[in-house]
Amino acid sequence: MDNYEINAGRLVPLSNLKDYKIAKDNPDILGWRVVGADGESLGIVKDLIVDPKAMKARYLAVVANRRFFNTSNDQYLLIPIGAAALDKGGRNVFVSSIDSKSIARYPVYTGGPITDEYEYAVRDNLRQSQREFLPDAKDDYKAEFGQALQQQPGNTRRISDDFYNNDTYNEDRFYTYNQEINRDRIPARDYAEPDYSSLSAEDLHKEVDNPRTVESSITTIERLDHLRQRGSISDEEYLLLKRRALDL
């Protein structure tokens, strides 16, 4: 997306900031697969959206699998960081409030400054999804979500000072909670081990420079990680090639 990096607002992509880095104890999740509530692979993490003033990560910038949107163009979704959980063992990010059926109605980020309207649209969508994914919840608990959805002023809504003061935007919750994903639920097409038998580092250098789909980006990053583990490329080269595979 050509205008992905054009963001002059209070929230900016981490890749645009030279002096802001992920804490060394936290995993670098760029390129990790995003898995929905039904085990389907929804896309990959492209970037983090951060609030430099608050020194907090607010959203995961996800490039979605195009098949969910019936388009040939990349679709970007900003998912609140606290609405996701890490599956460190499988290098996945799990999102319990989105699945392969509901992702098509998730608000798409089209680039440029992130507007207050977009952030409210994301929050409303997650609240609606939470209602749908809680069929056995008590009526008063489900009613709480319904009441919040109805509390929408007629004028344009603005982000209040306490907008992020909840678990949905709690980055500490995201980095400390490890969600174990049952990989038996992930379709074979979304969780296939690549064939490394004839792979070389030189081939990967050529591959990462070519235009790619979400699926091929995932495969390339998995191959890069395999090469790093077997000592064919250094940690520094792995990070460089991974960023190129993600077109950062």
Distance CA 21, CA 39 (A): 30
Domain check: are 140 and 236 in the same one?
no
Three-state DSSP state, 76? strand
Predicted confidence (pLDDT) at residue 243 exceeds the cutoff of 50: yes
Q: Return the CATH number at 105.
A: 3.90.50.10
Q: What is the pLDDT of residues 103-155, one digit of tens each?
A: 999 999 998 899 999 999 999 998 888 776 555 544 544 454 454 445 444 45
pLDDT of residue 4: 47
Domain that holds residue 212: 193-245
CB 58 within 8 A of CB 49: yes
Domain check: are 19 and 63 in the same one?
yes
Distance CA 184, CA 203 (A): 31
Spatial neighbors of 14 by CB under 8 A, at least 6 apart, are 20, 22, 47, 48, 49, 50, 57
pLDDT of residue 115: 93
Domain check: are 141 and 224 in the same one?
no
> Based on the structure, what is the number of domains in the chain?
2
Domain check: are 80 and 145 in the same one?
yes
Do the strands 92-95 and 75-80 form a parallel or antiparallel pair, or are they unpaired? Answer: unpaired
Q: Is residue 5 part of a domain?
A: no
Domain check: are 19 and 141 in the same one?
yes
Domain check: are 39 and 82 in the same one?
yes
pLDDT of residue 180: 66
Residue 229: pLDDT band (50, 70, 90) is confident
Domain boundary among the residues 187, 212, 235 is at 187
pLDDT of residue 63: 94
Predicted confidence (pLDDT) at residue 213 exceeds the cutoff of 70: no
Q: Is residue 4 part of a domain?
A: no
Domain check: are 143 and 200 in the same one?
no
Domain check: are 48 and 135 in the same one?
yes
Across 5-14, 116-125, 220-229, the highest mean pLDDT is recorded for 116-125
Domain check: are 198 and 174 in the same one?
no
